[in-house]
Amino acid sequence: MSTVTLDKPVAARSGGQRRTPGDALVAGTSHTMLIIWSVIVIVPFCWVVLSSFKTSKEILSSPFSLPAEWSFENYTSAWTKAGIGTYFFNTVIVVGTALVLVMLLGAMCAYVLARFEFFGRNFIYYTMLGGLTFPVFLVIVPLFFVLQGFGLLNTLPGLILTYVAYALPFTVFFLYAFFKTLPDDVYEAAMMDGAGEWRTFFQIMLPMAAPGMAGVAIFNFLGLWNQFLLPVALNTQRENWVLTQGMASFSSQAGYNVDFGALFAGVVMTVLPVLVVYLIFQRRISGTVSTGTFR
């Protein structure tokens, strides 16, 4: 007597789900929008890069053609004559120092709030969250007088401290979830082995939160590097300008006699560090957010 076997549907055998026309429509629409958005972002940037190798006459006469001669003269002019080099180094000093300080202080604050029970813990945490909702432009005037009172107005140390205060609430909020999900067994084992609180934090708990530290460091770098409002209001001394201030002045001071080639070269030098950092760590950003903050 023969037995009859019925084949399972392809979707059931493969363990997947059959796609409906609605799913295909949503996927097609989202991919189309992403392609359009990518073109809107990438094409202007490529045009700026090409224009940075042209003279102003070439840019005005044939804006979409290739450069007649590929020369780095515009980059040299922007770096020296326009002062982009000085502004670049000021930005590296301010953002680099502020990033180290805010990561250290933010990690310590988030660790204490996430791992220890004490009076006022929730009040401190929600006060930090409140700092995320407070518009920056509302604190410009108080910050101005505070820095003036401490003699830090129009100085790089004053701008560094302002950047630290600006980025600290987000850093604490981001890292809080990572320290909250770390296993208690590791902490207890370290304490039983004789490790103090400081050693446990720096040698055991902090390395375990490395994915979150990397992700929030990238977000802070992007935000602080592109910061414009705070330095414009609190750092008006020209030799202490950062890149955003220098580029704004360079684009407006020439009037009708603008050196467009050097201007576009300055834009490329301003955007390039941010672009390189993002391209290198883009997977770290997406992986950190999916495994940490929204866990």
The band of 254, judged by pLDDT with boundaries at 50, 70 and 90, is low
Q: Is 59 exposed, middle or buried (0-12, 13-18, 19+ CB in 10 A)?
A: buried
pLDDT, tens digit (0-9, with 9 covering 90-100), for 93-135: 999 999 999 999 999 999 999 988 889 888 999 988 888 888 8
Domain 79-293 superfamily per CATH: MetI-like (1.10.3720.10)
User: Please, is 251 exposed, middle or buried when counting C-beta atoms within 10 Å of its C-beta (0-12, 13-18, 19+)?
Assistant: middle
Domain boundaries, the chain: 79-293
Q: What is the pTM of this model?
A: 0.82
pLDDT above 60: residue 9: no
Q: How many CB atoms lie within 10 A of CB 240?
A: 20
Q: Check pLDDT > 80 for residue 12.
A: no
pLDDT score recorded for residue 294 = 39
For 66, which DSSP code?
P
Top-confidence residue, 20 or 48: 48
Which candidate, 225, 220, 231, places its Cα nearest to that of 136? 231
In total, the chain counts a number of residues equal to 295
pLDDT tens-digit readout, 34-93: 999 999 989 999 999 999 999 888 988 888 888 888 889 999 989 988 889 999 999 999
| pLDDT tens track for 169-184 | 999 999 998 888 888 8
The whole-number pLDDT of residue 292 equals: 47
Q: Which of 55, 103, 86, 131 is nearest to 218 (CA)?
A: 103
Confidence of residue 17 (pLDDT cuts 50, 70, 90): low
Task: Tell me the pLDDT tens digit for each residue of 146-160.
Answer: 999 999 999 999 999
Where helices occur in 81-209 by DSSP H, the ranges are: 84-115, 121-133, 140-149, 156-180, 184-192, 197-200, 206-208
Label residue 131 exposed, middle or buried (CB < 10 Å: 0-12, 13-18, 19+): middle
